[in-house]
Copies of this chain bind each other. A is one copy, B any other.
Amino acid sequence: MQPSEIQRLSDAIRDVPDFPKPGIMFRDITPVLGDGELFELTIRALAETAGDVKIDKIIGIDARGFIFGAAVAHLLGAGFVPIRKKGKLPWATEIESYSLEYGEAEIEIHKDAIGAGEKILVIDDLLATGGTAAAALKLIERIGGEVVAVAFLIELTSLNGRERLGDARVEAVLTY
């Protein structure tokens, strides 16, 4: 992307203080989604993180990762695989738990969602502490997928989330 395009995206993101709780500055990406041109820019930037590798499947993480991931899958002609919060997927799953600030959460993937050696691009909107993405990478590895890159629209660099993602190549369109 051109610096001017990055600036346009950055300008469109709406900072909402104290959401979902006091002290948190929420980066609201809905103005980017709602503008067809900015949405297209974002999807192209995320898709470019694959480089020259032909991607078999995009993995999107429940729920905002579905929005970006599905559009990237459409752009690349790839399949789309959802990783969901526990209890939403109807077929046989692999489950991984991860820590939240208070307590734990679990995410799932269908066991048959990826063929062995398939090239995977993981998409989510936000890299914060990296807990969800790290759990997602474990699930993908467990069922045989080969992660080409993990791409986020936004990275909150002060939280060092990428350190939890091991050897995976991590890309972010915007950093805060």
Central interface residue in A16, A60, A69, A73, by most chain B CB within 10 Å: A73
Q: Report whether B30 and A89 are in contact in the complex, using a CB–CB cutoff of 8 Å.
A: yes
Q: Report whether A91 and B28 are in contact in the complex, using a CB–CB cutoff of 8 Å.
A: yes
Which of B62, B74, B75, B113 touches A63 (beta carbons < 8 Å)?
A: B62
Within 8 A of B (CB), among A104-123: 110, 113
* A87 on interface, CB distance cutoff 8 Å: yes
* A14 on interface, CB distance cutoff 8 Å: yes
Interface residue SS majority, chain A: mixed
Chain B residues within an 8 Å CB radius of A82 = 30, 33, 64, 67
* A80 on interface, CB distance cutoff 8 Å: yes
* A103 on interface, CB distance cutoff 8 Å: no
Q: How far is the CB of A57 from chain B (nearest CB, A)?
A: 7
Q: Report whether A78 and B26 are in contact in the complex, using a CB–CB cutoff of 8 Å.
A: no
Chain B residues within an 8 Å CB radius of A80 = 33-34, 39, 67, 71
Contact with B along A54-70 (1 / 0, CB 8 A): 00110010111011111
Of chain B, the residue at the smallest CB distance from A14 is B91
Pull 26 A–B residue pairs with CB atoms less than 8 Å apart, ordered by A: A20-B90, A26-B90, A28-B90, A30-B82, A30-B91, A30-B113, A34-B79, A34-B80, A34-B81, A35-B79, A36-B77, A36-B78, A39-B73, A39-B74, A40-B74, A43-B74, A63-B88, A64-B82, A66-B66, A66-B67, A67-B70, A67-B82, A68-B70, A70-B70, A71-B73, A71-B80
